[in-house]
Structure formats: C-alpha cells, structure tokens
Structure 1
Amino acid sequence: MNGFLNWWDGNELWLSGLAFVLQAMVVMPVVLAVAYFTAVLLDAVLGRGIALVRRARHADGAAG
C-alpha cells in the first residue's frame, strides 16, 4: 500500500507543478472517460430496472 501511496503522491506533485492549461489537458481525458463509463453503466442498470418494473406491472395487470 505504501508503494501505491508514494506513486500517487509523486503523480500528484508532478501534476500540481504543471501550469493550469497543462493540468486540464492531462486531467480532462481521464475525467471524461470516467464520466462516459459511469453513464454507460448507469444507463444499463436503469434500463434493466425499468424493464423489470414494466414486466412486473404487465404481469400484475394480466393476473388481475
């Protein structure tokens, strides 16, 4: 764990030493990739949840 934390600290110090524009150029692709994959995951999970709710409502209407 100490190795990872030392690596993280080194990268953080390197990044904080860059000019703001360079920081943005390094950070934004990572942030955008994380946001994209989070959106894809949430879309899939919520889509399945909505499908299950619709299926349950349809089953309740057919039974009653």
Structure 2
Amino acid sequence: MLDGLANWWDGVELWLAQAWFPVQFVLVMAVLVPLCLLAAWAIDKLVERFGRWFGTARDDDGPGRS
C-alpha cells in the first residue's frame, strides 16, 4: 500500500515540478494558505487554552482598582 502511495506522490511531484511557474504558484497557494490559516487558528486556540490553564485569573474589579 505504501509503495503505491509513494509512486503516486512521485508522479504528482514530478508533474508539479514540470508545470509552468504560475500554475505552480496558484496550486501551492491554494494548498498552503488554507493550511497555514488552519495551523494559526489551532495554535491560537492551544495557546489560549494553556494560558487559561496555567495563567492566573484576574478580575477587572479586583483589589487596587477603582
């Protein structure tokens, strides 16, 4: 099974490497932009969750505030 996947990927890679540059650019951007946005969203959510878990709770009306 992995042999077939590797052969398929080699074919896709070869096709993309031989494609005209504007086609390469459009295809890479069509894949990378959504993946990067998804990764940024996931990292933001993880940092927010860990920040709530490890951070201290602060009230806006706590001591020292007027």
**Which structure has the highest helix share of the two?**
1
The Cα RMSD (Å) is 1.0
User: Which residue in the other structure is 1:6 paired with?
Assistant: 7
Are 1:24 and 2:25 matched, yes or no? Answer: yes
Please give the alpha-carbon distance, in whole angstroms, between the structure 2 residues aligned to 1:51 and 1:18. 47
Deviation at 1:53, TM superposition (A): 2.0
Please give the alpha-carbon distance, in whole angstroms, between the structure 2 residues aligned to 1:36 and 1:22. 21
Please give the alpha-carbon distance, in whole angstroms, between the structure 2 residues aligned to 1:46 and 1:19. 40
Please give the alpha-carbon distance, in whole angstroms, between the structure 1 residues aligned to 2:46 and 2:25. 31
Deviation at 1:25, TM superposition (A): 0.7
User: Which residue in the other structure is 2:45 paired with?
Assistant: 44
Deviation at 1:52, TM superposition (A): 1.1
Could you list the per-position Cα deviations for residues 9-30 of structure 1 after superposition, in whole angstroms to 9, with x for gaps in the alignment? 0001111111111100111110
User: Which residue in the other structure is 1:61 paired with?
Assistant: none
What letter is aligned with 1:30?
Answer: V
Identity of aligned residues (%): 32
Give the TM-score normalised by the residue count of structure 1.
0.80
The count of aligned residue pairs is 56
The answer for unaligned runs of 5 or more in structure 2 is: 58-66
